[in-house]
A and B are shown apart, each in its own frame.
Chain A
Amino acid sequence: MDVLLAILGQFGLYGLLTVGIAVIFAATRVVNLAQGDLAMTGAYVAATATAAPFGLRTLLALAAGAPLLLVVERLLLRRPGSDGLAAMLVTWGLGMALRQGAELLFTGTSRTVAVPVEGTLDVLGTPYPTYRLVCALTATAVIALVLLAAHRTDWGLRLRAVADNPAMAALLGTDPRRMRATAFTLGGLLAVLAGALYSPVLAVNPSMGFGLLVPVFFGLLLSRPGALATAAGAALLISTLSVLLRTWLSDTLAEALFYAVVVAIAALRSRPWIGRFSAWFRRTPAPASAA
């Protein structure tokens, strides 16, 4: 039972970040390498504005994040002619700047954030810290909300259209630039939220983003572009894997095995027969068949 709860807790964190990065990737075709550092920013807002109650601090983090993300998108990612790799480097540079800024403001030492909800709760006979449960459930609810929005609203339809074929979506009347801006902001905000929510659970320091980036990146790699549900599924898979390995093995070994397993999955996915199988599964006609 405690393993299941741990997986749920981990999934809340990874799920928010992975769905966020997937939203950004869907609309912009850019892997946001600053995703972890955006979470770090959120965590620092929660860690420093201690005068306000925790819920308010989380909202504050979101309120501070939104204009920042919009400005970044407007200034840095909107240059015409910049290819995918250049945009990826821009996000890398953004992460670097955030990290360095945090180090200047708050020094490199880790901080802890006081847990806003004390005590433990009995879940089917297993005691579990209440706050962890609260934030895992909040995160899961937000993920569900985003997935619902992607599949049940016009905005979600447009997002999926842009992800599938930006040129066609533009011809049908969706402004891809606006879509990119909103998607980047939303995806970034999910990261900020994850950072703020989980700040009492994590050690808050400027380089915490790196540790988060890798599993999130794995999740994106395993998901299908534009299909946010697969991103959430991949996050669940990754959290399960990392929690299980950690309960059975020492940290280093668990980490090594984690990389090995995910790399094996990624490598297997690129084998032609898997590709053929999944192409059949998706029933998308292969482009070369158009004679």
Chain B
Amino acid sequence: MTVPAASNAPVAPAVSTRGIRRTLRLALPGLAGAALLAAPFGLDAFAVATLTLGLCHGLFAYGLDLSWGRAGLLSVGHAAFFGLGAYAVALAQEHHLPWTATVAAAVAAAVLIAVPVVRIGLAAPVPDAPLILLTIGVGLLLQRAATTLAPVTGGTNGLSVSGPDVVTSYYVTLGAVAAVVGACGVLLVRGRFGARLVAASRNPERAAQSGIDTTRVRTAAFAVSAAVAALAGALYAPVAGLVSPQVFGLGLSTSVLIWLALGGRESTVGPFAGAVAVTVGQQYLGSTWQGWYLLALAALFLLVVQVAPAGLTAAPRRWLAGPGPDVRLPSASRRAPYRTASESAGDRLPLAVTGIRKSFGPVEVLAGVDLTVEAGRCVCLIGPNGAGKSTFLNVVAGQLAPDAGTLRLFGADAAGLPVHRRVGLGVGRMFQIPSVVAELSPADNLRLARIEAPEPAEPPAEFRDLAEDELRPAGALPLADRRRLELAVVLASGPRLLLLDEPAAGLGPDDARRLTRELREVNRRTGCALLVVEHDMDIVRELADEVVVLAEGRVLARGPLDTVAADPAVRTAYLGAR
């Protein structure tokens, strides 16, 4: 076996800059924290009030980042959630209610609105358009409600809110912001959840195939994002002193997009830096220049989206993080994988299907397929184009739901299970076009797979070069290496049944042979059963214990390759001979 040396990766940088980076990485958060704590002692009251407002805005932007940045779900009406929090505090003061109860109710309302909104969005093939629409709609609706319910909300004039003095309110805000960011950091961003979110937002297909419930992960991130926005609104109300229907408005939703886009997504510093900088500028410019300032911001936003989509703080952050791809798994999730006891697959039949049918409209693609794959066997699925091979594989993997028939995986009825649950049963899948998380390094891809694995396995020695490749994104790998990485990722979760759709497609003869050998080796060493769709008869000959011929949605023949190839019915199906 030829293993390419790891030396084709970029050369590691000199030790000295690495030392500086490490020191700065440790020192900068401490310095920033100290500066924030000391700020009221060196600044006048107006500056402190501005900074407080900036922090509220920053928390709002941080909340938006959880959905737009980290979950990849753009919301252009996030002020709806912010406004809920702001009105909660204002109404508590106006009507003498306990503010803890109203704020809790606002957070609950934000979550209750956010969950159906994001569910509808995620049900669409591309979630952007429905999400944009629904978030705008929610914002407009709440604004309208706040305007018309004048006896309760004060109508267009809004409600005035009194807060503590400037310095106290600064420290209260700072403390609350630190607490929320800390909690989100530990629970959502840094740990296993953060790793899942990275995968689910970038490559939902592969994430599901690694056993991640992508819809749940992204829904949770969006819901927390809405809750954080509501908390930011609650902090904002006493600082601003007035809550009017404008807080639901698209003006504020637009502003928060600008803060986040300028500051930089997928970071903790970015949203706060963007929000504080813009807020300070806005407060210190007189009202005469306000309009021009906003116009300039719009222009800057256009420029940043075009030229530096990662935001203005991206370059220094990247430098601090050291060499490597832009996107990495959160560091805390890299520690020892989290193990859950899984029921052993034992010797149960990996796959048993009977009478599987699947139609697309009037076209019946699968017309009652019966097939079993025994443990440790390698079954190759062949057949002419349009025979239903890929459809069948999609039904087994869970991408498509069969119209009729039973499907049992390791003895469990799996016909209605989602993809990630089937992965938990021990199913691994490789796609026709290798599917890895292209933005993460190969090493991070493997780590992610091990974090999620029910029975994590160390990558075999022949994948060592990939497991140590930290420096470039997986998308930059050549096709053959991406294919090997996908295999390594799938194997890391210790599957008992591996589904492959034309694994050698697009590979040269040498790479195809090498991959075939690796697959055979995997099958021999781990006893993992293989179900392979393949056209190349050389590969089939080398791999298959058994060949199944599919034609016109039915199993035409099964047995050793030579027997099958001699079958006159198979020859007719392939060659059209009569």
Given contacts A101-B295, A214-B137, contact A92 B257 (CB under 8 A): yes
- B309 near A86: Cβ-Cβ < 8 Å: yes
Once bound together, how far apart are the Cα atoms of A121 and B392, in whole Å? 65
Residues of B within 8 A of A4 (CB): none
- A92 near B309: Cβ-Cβ < 8 Å: no
Stretch in B381-389, B423-431, B434-442, B508-516 with 4+ CB within 8 Å of A: B381-389
Once bound together, how far apart are the Cα atoms of A85 and B302, in whole Å? 13
A256-291 near B? 1/0 per residue, CB < 8 Å = 100100010011001110001001100101101111
Given contacts A280-B362, A286-B360, contact A103 B120 (CB under 8 A): no
A189-219 near B? 1/0 per residue, CB < 8 Å = 0000000000000000001001101100110
Between A90, A210, A271, A288, the greatest number of chain B beta carbons within 10 A of the residue's beta carbon is seen for A288
Within 8 A of B (CB), among A37-96: 76, 79, 82, 84-86, 88-90, 92-94, 96
- A288 near B361: Cβ-Cβ < 8 Å: no
Residues of B within 8 A of A101 (CB): 295
- B298 near A289: Cβ-Cβ < 8 Å: no
Given contacts A285-B363, A291-B383, contact A97 B136 (CB under 8 A): no
Residues of A within 8 A of B130 (CB): 221, 266, 270
- A288 near B141: Cβ-Cβ < 8 Å: no
Q: How far is the CB of B18 from chain A (nearest CB, A)?
A: 32
Given contacts A103-B291, A291-B391, contact A285 B386 (CB under 8 A): no
- A263 near B134: Cβ-Cβ < 8 Å: yes
Once bound together, how far apart are the Cα atoms of A220 and B136, in whole Å? 15
Once bound together, how far apart are the Cα atoms of A63 and B527, in whole Å? 72
A145 interface residue per 8 A CB criterion: no
- B124 near A285: Cβ-Cβ < 8 Å: no
B71 interface residue per 8 A CB criterion: no
B293-308 near A? 1/0 per residue, CB < 8 Å = 0110011011001100
Within 8 A of B (CB), among A127-142: none
B156 interface residue per 8 A CB criterion: no
Chain B residues within 8 Å of chain A by Cβ, number: 55
Given contacts A79-B306, A101-B295, contact A291 B128 (CB under 8 A): no
Once bound together, how far apart are the Cα atoms of A211 and B399, in whole Å? 39
- B386 near A291: Cβ-Cβ < 8 Å: yes
Residues of A within 8 A of B361 (CB): 276, 279-280, 283, 285-286
Q: How far is the CB of A260 from chain B (nearest CB, A)?
A: 9
B106-149 near A? 1/0 per residue, CB < 8 Å = 00000000000000100110101110111011001100110010
B49 interface residue per 8 A CB criterion: no
Q: How far is the CB of B116 from chain A (nearest CB, A)?
A: 8
Once bound together, how far apart are the Cα atoms of A221 and B298, in whole Å? 27
Q: How far is the CB of B534 from chain A (nearest CB, A)?
A: 12
B168-183 near A? 1/0 per residue, CB < 8 Å = 0000000000000000
Given contacts A85-B74, A100-B291, A283-B361, contact A267 B123 (CB under 8 A): yes
Determine the residue in chain A with the shortest Cβ distance to B393.
A291
Between A90, A101, A251, A263, the greatest number of chain B beta carbons within 10 A of the residue's beta carbon is seen for A263
Once bound together, how far apart are the Cα atoms of A80 and B383, in whole Å? 40
- A93 near B388: Cβ-Cβ < 8 Å: no
Give the residue of B140, B257, B302, B389 whose beta carbon is less than 8 angstroms from that of A76.
Answer: B302
- B292 near A289: Cβ-Cβ < 8 Å: no
Once bound together, how far apart are the Cα atoms of A288 and B144, in whole Å? 45
Determine the residue in chain B with the shortest Cβ distance to A84.
B128
Give the residue of B124, B295, B306, B385 whose beta carbon is less than 8 angstroms from that of A100.
Answer: B295
Determine the residue in chain B with the shortest Cβ distance to A217.
B133
Q: How far is the CB of A57 from chain B (nearest CB, A)?
A: 25
Once bound together, how far apart are the Cα atoms of A85 and B292, in whole Å? 27
- B360 near A97: Cβ-Cβ < 8 Å: no
Determine the residue in chain B with the shortest Cβ distance to A85.
B128
B385-429 near A? 1/0 per residue, CB < 8 Å = 111111110100001110000000000000000000000000000
A31 interface residue per 8 A CB criterion: yes
B365 interface residue per 8 A CB criterion: yes
Residues of A within 8 A of B254 (CB): 92, 96
Given contacts A33-B132, A86-B309, A259-B137, contact A291 B301 (CB under 8 A): no
- A288 near B133: Cβ-Cβ < 8 Å: no
Once bound together, how far apart are the Cα atoms of A116 and B120, in whole Å? 45
Q: How far is the CB of A117 from chain B (nearest CB, A)?
A: 32
Residues of B within 8 A of A283 (CB): 361-362
A2 interface residue per 8 A CB criterion: no
A175 interface residue per 8 A CB criterion: no
- B132 near A217: Cβ-Cβ < 8 Å: yes
Give the residue of B128, B251, B392 whose beta carbon is less than 8 angstroms from that of A88.
Answer: B128
Q: How far is the CB of A215 from chain B (nearest CB, A)?
A: 10
Between A100, A220, A266, A280, the greatest number of chain B beta carbons within 10 A of the residue's beta carbon is seen for A100
Residues of A within 8 A of B302 (CB): 76, 90, 93-94, 97
- A86 near B137: Cβ-Cβ < 8 Å: no
Residues of A within 8 A of B392 (CB): 291
- B292 near A104: Cβ-Cβ < 8 Å: yes
Once bound together, how far apart are the Cα atoms of A90 and B299, in whole Å? 10
Given contacts A93-B305, A210-B140, A289-B360, contact A221 B390 (CB under 8 A): no
Residues of A within 8 A of B309 (CB): 86
Q: How far is the CB of B328 from chain A (nearest CB, A)?
A: 21
Determine the residue in chain B with the shortest Cβ distance to A259.
B137
B504 interface residue per 8 A CB criterion: no
Q: How far is the CB of B439 from chain A (nearest CB, A)?
A: 13
Q: How far is the CB of A68 from chain B (nearest CB, A)?
A: 14
Q: How far is the CB of B279 from chain A (nearest CB, A)?
A: 17
Once bound together, how far apart are the Cα atoms of A33 and B126, in whole Å? 16
B250 interface residue per 8 A CB criterion: yes
Q: How far is the CB of A71 from chain B (nearest CB, A)?
A: 13
Once bound together, how far apart are the Cα atoms of A210 and B136, in whole Å? 9
Determine the residue in chain A with the shortest Cβ distance to B128.
A85
Residues of A within 8 A of B389 (CB): 291
Once bound together, how far apart are the Cα atoms of A130 and B348, in whole Å? 79
Within 8 A of A (CB), among B21-50: none
- A97 near B123: Cβ-Cβ < 8 Å: no
- A266 near B120: Cβ-Cβ < 8 Å: yes
Once bound together, how far apart are the Cα atoms of A202 and B25, in whole Å? 56
B76 interface residue per 8 A CB criterion: yes
Once bound together, how far apart are the Cα atoms of A289 and B126, in whole Å? 21
B492 interface residue per 8 A CB criterion: no
Closest 5 CB pairs of A and B: A280-B361, A286-B360, A93-B302, A97-B298, A96-B298
15 contacts across the A-B interface (CB closer than 8 A): A76-B306, A86-B305, A89-B257, A96-B301, A100-B294, A104-B292, A210-B140, A213-B136, A221-B129, A263-B120, A270-B120, A288-B390, A288-B400, A289-B360, A290-B390
Chain B interfacial positions (CB closer than 8 Å to A): 74, 76, 120, 123-124, 126, 128-130, 132-134, 136-137, 140-141, 144-145, 148, 250-251, 254, 257, 261, 291-292, 294-295, 298-299, 301-302, 305-306, 309, 360-363, 365, 383, 385-392, 394, 399-401, 533, 550
**Seed contacts A217-B136, A266-B120; 5 additional CB < 8 Å A-B pairs:** A103-B291, A214-B133, A263-B134, A291-B385, A291-B550
